[in-house]
Structure 1
Amino acid sequence: MSLPDRTRRLDRMKAIALGCLLGAIALLVLSHVMGRQGIWGWVGAFAEAATIGALADWFAVVALFRHPLGLPIPHTAIIPRNKLRIADALADFLVDNFLAREQLLQRLDAWNPARQLGEFLGEPERLNGLSKQLQGWAAESLKSLDSPLIEREVLGLVHRQLLAWDAAGTAARLTRALTAGQHHQRLLNAGLSQIAGWLDKPEVRGFITEKMVAMARREFPKLTWLTDKLDYTDALGEALSTKLANAIVDEVQLVLSDADHPLRHRYAAEAERLLVKLEEDPDFQAKVDGWKREFVDSQLVQEYARDLWQRLRQWLHDDLAGDDSRTFTHFRAYAERLGRRLREDPVWQEAANAQMRIAAEHLADQIRMVAPAYIRQTVESWDTTEMVDEIERAVGRDLQFIRLNGTLIGGLAGLILYGLFHLPWSQWFG
């Protein structure tokens, strides 16, 4: 494939990955606009986590080849900064794993391991036997999780990961994503519309009336004594609450209809000020981190995590103990599909054999004595910029799938976490 063709393919995949990121952000904004109620709560959870996953994997992929956004962030531009180390590592790796492999690869190609695996998975008795063995092994392994020590280690690992999470950085990235496309103004519109609709409800106005009357009786007992005598206190409270609600609704409508309203400018300024503090103010970042630590260290969160771990462990224990294990029912179904693909689909068979071939290459152990020096000299002679560009053209397109997978897997993780907090687990486990 020519150089222009590889460049175009890389640019096209970058555009697709960027489109997925923008799509996740759009879904996130839409879910907030819709109030994140019902299905929109799930959509919002997916979009929120997908956005974070997409941004994180974008950073990881870019950091291989250059400084993200041109910023000299430590441990980025990994390939150009480690050219000599890459040369040494590449030489050692190729010599140790690839150079003497012809005989092994010839035998592997003749055996066609993908086809053999497909035939094995296509025999129901052998597949059921494998499934039962794996289920028994999993059930035995699960018993070790009953140990309080394991529970402490697992919960401790989760706790440490949460403490290590850069909450301020995440908040800054989300805030920048929202403000970059004026999405924060749409969120303001949605919030103001919710307030206006809420104040229009009779029960809300009645609640405001009750609070105003109660406050008046407490603060102005003599005045309310007189109005009570005139049987006018409740009517006066209702009139005042109506005027207050109408005034707020009118002001809200004014803000919604005026894109240049002063409140919008103050709101945008506060958002920008918050973003600057999140990105540049160490004291505020420390404060955000403190809030995160208070939440993570709270007794409620720790008890919930412990209860969740115990429920999950019990569910797995009950599932693996039965003959109709849902986990291994899914495993058998997947294994059957995989076996059918490996037997009938040449593309799948070729891909699987290619992967097994790579694994076999790692077993080769003969060394050609002149190879290490030749590889080091060749890599060291390359122009760094040209080397990075060539590597990116060679593998960058595939790396964009990491960004796509990060978006999808992040979104799925968001759905799972949202489900853990919102689904009626007690009915399932209890």
Structure 2
Amino acid sequence: MNFRRRKNSEGGSSASPGPQTGAIVEQELLMDNLLRAVGNLGFRQVLPSPISSRRVLEGDPELTRWIDGSPVEVVSDNSNLILSPSHFLNVFKRYLDNVGTRGAHVAKWFYLAPVVRVRAGELSIKHEFGLFILGEDSPLAAAQLIDAVSQISTTLGVRDFSIEVNSLGCKVCQKDYRHLLTEHFKRQSVNLCQTCTESLDDNPFVVWSCAEPGCRGQLQDAPQIVDFLDEECRANLMSVLETVDSLGITYALHPTLMVKPLREKVMFRVSMPTGILGEGGNFTHFSTALGAAAEVPLIGFLTNFERLWQFVPEEAKSLTTHVEVFMVPLGPVASRRALLMHHELQRAGIDAAESMLGHASIKSQLKEANERHSDITLIIGQKEALDETVILRDMRSGIQEVFASERIVDEVKKRLGK
């Protein structure tokens, strides 16, 4: 999904996902729904820097392989700068800087921002979505993150997704297990692909994520990491699973799940029948690589908007958003009063929308009110503007009544049960 710039009717420009007007509207709607759903769950949007340091990638070969493409260099006097191929490290660095300033604290952040990579000589632009709980990696925090991802997916209309969970434990858990796993695969090396065979001594977990049939066939009889978790890591995993289960979220324990570029503790994947929606888990080990004196808890989930769009069913893409109140002013004087009233409604916690620009007719505005499934429409004509009154139309019953402008916020709240 390549975004380009398009001219709008007023002569400006806006991001466009393609040539089809219907698809543009649907994608903008999905983006609105995504941002609203995440915000309702208590996550705060942050804007990551588009520029990264190449040194961070060069110091972590696993991370470089995970990027799946080459970074784009920034032409400047500093040859170390690149366009961010992923934003999570910049977001972590920002959080760690905040910790250095104000001390340890928990933050729930998210971002939706473009990332640029070069793949097979072609420029690839995606819009990465990151969801993070920073400052705590307790079982409750991990379960809350999984629950948030599940709720967001459901809100967007995604169906038939499954959540798979695993734990790689800590370095202590992995020490003996790595040795046993390596020995097991070496005995079966004749059946492994060349890449996995060459990587066994450094990282036997590479076989877990290999798609080659010979490598997949060796996993069934391999020792399982869950049998080697120490008491703390086992208790952590069980607590996450119990909390997720208590929330009514269906999950499966996947003993060979490997989420790159993660290396420790609980990780999870949201899978679809035809692919992977996104992955997440514990990113804590990146904190020291970013300059923290000691590990700082970091957990999160990554996907991209293009992937979300792929898995949202067609009927969900065309669903319109619901608003509680829609403003319908007629003429410049009425529009000024409607703008003030819209502000008062929003300040009172009422979800209000309008479409007053562009000399919109009453017919077109009422049509949009219907399309937005508004509960109440507030109509202000020239007469109402002069009389300081408002026509309140209950869209559910069709009944219209006239109220003084000063009473309208209280009347709307009463009608909405607020």
TM-score, scaled to structure 1: 0.19
Structure 1 or 2: more strand by fraction:
2
Q: Which structure has the bigger radius of gyration? A: 1
